Structure 1
Amino acid sequence: MTETRVGLIEFGKAIHDSVTVPGLGELPGGQVSAGRATRGARARLLRGGRVVEDDLRLGIVVRKKFFSSDVEPVTDAGFLKDVFVAVGRRDLGNGDSLELYTDDTVGPDLSRPEAAVSVVAPAFDQLTGFRAQVHVREGVLRFGALCASAQGGQPMRVLGLFGPAGPLEELPAGQVATVLLGFQCDAPPMAGDVLTAFPTPGFVEHRDGTAVVHGVTDLGPGALVAAVEVPEGRSAAFTVGVRVRVLRPIGTTFNERSTVIAAGLPVLSLARDGVAVRSTAGSRVFTVGLGTRDLRQNDVLEAYVPASSPALAPPLALAPPPAPPVALVDVNTASAADLARLPGLTPDRVTTALELRRQQGGFPDVEAFGVAIGLQPHEIVHLRGRATAGRVALPETGVRQLDI
C-alpha cells in the first residue's frame, strides 16, 4: 500500500462559496484545512461519513487575487488557503470534503469502456489548461467521465463538456463538442488522438471515524492492544469486526500528510474502562485489539466499511444534516471583544492585532494574521474553522501616478 494523504479541502469554510471563471462558469470554493492542495492530485469526495466517489482529479485550481475580484491559476495552495476547484462534479457544497492523495499502485477500473472520441482541435490557456474539440465515434461521452488517452498516462476526468449552446451533460455518437481537461494531462492532447471514456465509480465506503493511538501493548506474535482517543470535536463508532486502516502522520502543521501503513485490519476486540464491549459509540477513550505488530504512538486508526461488504447490504440511514457552521471571526473587521474570543489571543495580542490592522489596512489571510501577532504554529492551527480574513482595501499612499 503506497497511498499518502496529502491534503483536505473542506467546502463551506471559504470566504466565498464560488467564483465565476470566464468560459467555464462557477467553481465551488473550499478551504485547505489540512496539508496542501496540489493541482493534478487524485481526490475522493467525502459526504456525510461516506466516500461517495473516488478517483477524482484536482484538474483546475484557482484563487481570488488579493484586493480584486479576478482569479488566477494556482499550482499549490497551503494550509488555511481558499481555493476554487474543478474535479468533474457540479454538486460540491457545504459539508463536503475532498480528500487529496497520491497512490502509485491502485487505479480506477478501466475494464468497461462506454465511449471512444477523437481529438479534432486541441487548445490551451493559462487559467483553465487543456481543452479539445472532440468527435464522439461511438457510445456516449458524459460530463465527469473518466477518460484515458491512447498515448498513455494517468486517467483523467471530463471537467467540462460544452456545446454551441453551453454546458452539456452528455454527448452522443456522431456529435462534436469541446471537452475541458484542465491540468491533469500527462501529455498534451494532439489532433488525431483517441480518448476512451469509462463510467465513474460510485459509492466506495462508509467511514466510522478515527482514533489516535496513545499507547501500545504487545500481546505476542502478530497481535497488540492499543489505547486510543477520538479527536476532540469528532465522533467515532468502532465495532468488533469492522476494518481499520493505519495512517502514520508525517510532515509539519503546514504540510501535514499521512501514509497508509496498513488496511483491512479487522478489530479483534474493544474495551472501555477495562470492560469488553462490542461498540464504542459515544466513547472518546477506549482500547482496540488488532492483528498487527506495526503500530506506533500518534498513528491514526480509521474505521471503515467497504461498499462491497455484506454489512452494507441494507441501505444505510441518511446521515443527519451537518451542524450549522460556526460564525467565523473576520480578523480584518472584528472588534476587540470578538478577537479576544479566538483561541490564543491574549489582551496583548488583541492590542497588537488592532494596531497592525490600523497601520497596514488588514491581513491577507489567517496564517499571516497569526504570524504577525506572534502566534506559534500550533496556536495558528487552533484558528482553523474559527477565523477568516475578508478582503481589505489597500491604504492610500498619497503618491500620484504620472502619464509619461
Structure 2
Amino acid sequence: MRDDGIWLGENRVCGISVTGFGTAMGLGRLPRGRVFGGDLVRGARARLLRGGVVIAEDLRVGALIREKVVGKRLEAREAISAGRRCMVAIGHGDVREGDHVEVYTPANTAGLDPDLVLGYQVQPDRREELGRAEVDELSSDPLAGTVARVALATGRLRLGDRVRVLRGGQPVAETLRLLFMTDEDRRPIGEASVGDRVLVGLGHPGLLPGDMVVAFDVPPPTWTEARTHRLKVQEAHSADDLAMGEVFPSRKSPAGGRILAAGHRARLLRDGTVIADGLTIAHLRRTGTLTATAFEWTQQTRPWTEVWLDFPDLRKGDQIEPYQVLPAG
C-alpha cells in the first residue's frame, strides 16, 4: 500500500481465496483456490491479504494453471471464469492457506498502455536497481508461457524480484515479477549472478531478443491497512454532509478484521470501482440498539447495521470497505 492510500479509479476484478497448493513443472509450488467475483485473466495486477491485512502489493498474475479432473492433467489458461478452481503464479514466495489474492485493474487516467502503468509502491526516483540481464532467445513452455534465455550483465536476479523490461533504453513493461528461474538444464534456482545464463519466466508474452530485463527494489512501505468485511448498501439516505446506509456484510468480501468501529477509515466502491477514499465512519447503529462506537462483525452478522459516512452521494448497491491504517511490518 502506498502511503497515500489506494488510487481512485482502481477497479476490483475478482479474487481468489487460497485453499491449498499444487505443483507445476517449472513453476514449482503454486497456491490453489476458487475464483470469485469475476473472471481472472493472465497478466492482471494483484495484492495479497492475510486476515484482512495487505501484506504484498504490485504482484502480477503471471500464469494460470487449470487441473483437469480426468487424469489430473495440467493445462495453461489465458483466463479462468468465476466459480472455477485454478493454480496461479503471482511472484510472491510466502503465500499461505487462507490468504486472499485480490485482483484489480489500476487507475489509468493518462491513458497509458496498461503494461506501462507503474505499481503502487513504485516511485521512479526511489527505485534501486538490482541487476540487468539481456534476452538472448525465447521459447515457449506449455504451462509457464514465454520463457526467456538471458545473460546477466550486472548485479543479480532472485525469484520474486520486481522486474521491468527495456527496449532500446525505453520501458515496454513495468511492474512485472520474476515468476520462475532455472539453469540451462531446467533445474530450478533461486538466484543468478553476473555472467550466468539462465531461463526466466515473467508472465509477459511480448518479450523480444535484445530486450533488457531489469530487476529492482523499492523502499519498504511505512504503512499498510487492515480491512474488515466489505459492507453492501441496501438503502441510503443523505442529510447535510453525511449519508446513512443500511448495510449487510458482502458475501463476496474476503475475510477481514472482526471489529467495525466509528472512526475507522473507509473507501467506497461503485460497480467495483473505487470512487472515494479516506472517508470516515462517523456513527454506527444496529437494529434495536442505541448508537454504538464499535461492533463485532462477521459475514453471519444479522440483522442490518446503520453506518453514517461523510459521503452524501451514497447509493443503494454501493460497497463500503472499512479499514484501519497500521504501521507496516
What range is the shorter-chain TM-score in? 0.7 to 0.9
Q: Secondary structure at the match of 1:68?
A: helix
User: Which residue matches 2:161?
Assistant: 145
Q: Does 1:219 align with 2:239?
A: yes
Partners of 1:27 and 1:48 lie apart in 2 by: 20
Distance change >3 Å, CA 82–CA 197, structure 1 → 2 = same
Write out per-residue CA displacement over residues 42-62 of structure 1, whole angstroms, 9 at most, x where no aligned residue: 111121221111111111112
What SS class does the counterpart of residue 261 from structure 2 fall into?
A: coil
Query: Residues 356-390 of structure 1: CA distance to partner in whole angstroms, max 9, x if unpaired?
Result: xxxxxxxxxxxxxxxxxxxxxxxxxxxxxxxxxxx
Percent identity between matched residues is 31
1:3 and 2:10 aligned: yes
Q: Judging changes above 3 Å, is the alpha-carbon distance between structure 1 residues 248 and 171 closer, same or farther for their aligned structure 2 residues?
A: same
Cross-structure match for 1:20 = 24
Aligned-partner Cα distance in 1 for 2:147–2:184? 15
Residue 274 of structure 1 and its aligned partner are, at CA, apart by: 5.1
Task: Single out whichever of 58-67 and 203-212 deviates more from structure 2.
Answer: 203-212
Distance 2:49 2:42 in 1: 19
Q: Note the alpha carbon deviations across 1:206-232, whole angstroms, 9 max, x for none.
A: 112222212222112x32122222247
What does residue range 3-402 of structure 1 map to in structure 2 within 5 Å? 3-12=10-19, 17-21=21-25, 23-105=26-108, 107-108=119-120, 109=122, 110=124, 111-125=126-140, 126-151=142-167, 152-163=172-183, 166-182=187-203, 184-185=204-205, 187-188=206-207, 190-199=208-217, 204-220=224-240, 222-231=241-250, 236-249=258-271, 258-272=272-286, 273=288, 275-282=290-297, 284=302, 285-306=304-325, 312-313=326-327
Matched residues in 2 for 1:208 and 1:164: separation?
A: 46
2:262 counterpart letter in structure 1:
V
1:304 Cα deviation after fit = 1.4
Q: Give distance in 2, aligned partners of 1:178 and 1:303.
A: 43
RMSD across aligned C-alpha pairs, in angstroms? Answer: 2.6
TM-score (norm 1): 0.66
Q: TM-score, normalised by structure 2?
A: 0.80
Bigger radius of gyration, 1 or 2?
A: 1
**Paired position in structure 1 for 2:112:** none
What letter matches 2:281 in structure 1?
A: V
C-alpha distance in 2, partners of 1:78/1:228? 28
Work out the number of aligned pairs and report it: 294
Partner deviation per Cα, 1:294-318 (whole Å, 9 max, x = no partner)? 2111211111123xxxxx2497xxx
Distance in 1 of aligned mates of 2:19 and 2:197: 36
Distance 1:163 1:298 in 2: 52
CA contact (8 A) 1:19 1:29 kept: no
Offset of residue 113 of structure 1? 2.4
Indicate if the aligned counterparts of 1:113 and 1:196 stay in contact, CA closer than 8 A: no
Q: CA deviation at 1:180?
A: 1.1
Give the 3-state SS of the residue equivalent to 2:173 in structure 1.
coil
TM-fit CA distance, 1:159: 0.3
Name the SS for the 1:100 alignment partner. Answer: strand
- Matches of 1:7 and 1:230 in 2, distance apart? 17
Q: Which amino acid aligns with 2:148?
A: A
Provide Cα deviations, 1:142-166, integer angstroms capped at 9, x if missing partner. 2111111123233211001223573
Shift in Å, 1:96: 1.6
Unaligned runs of 5+ in 1: 250-257, 307-311, 316-404
Conserved 8 A contact 2:237-2:314: no
CA distance in 2, matches of 1:298, 1:286: 15
Select the structure with the greater relative contact order (CA < 8 A; seq sep ≥ 6). Answer: 2
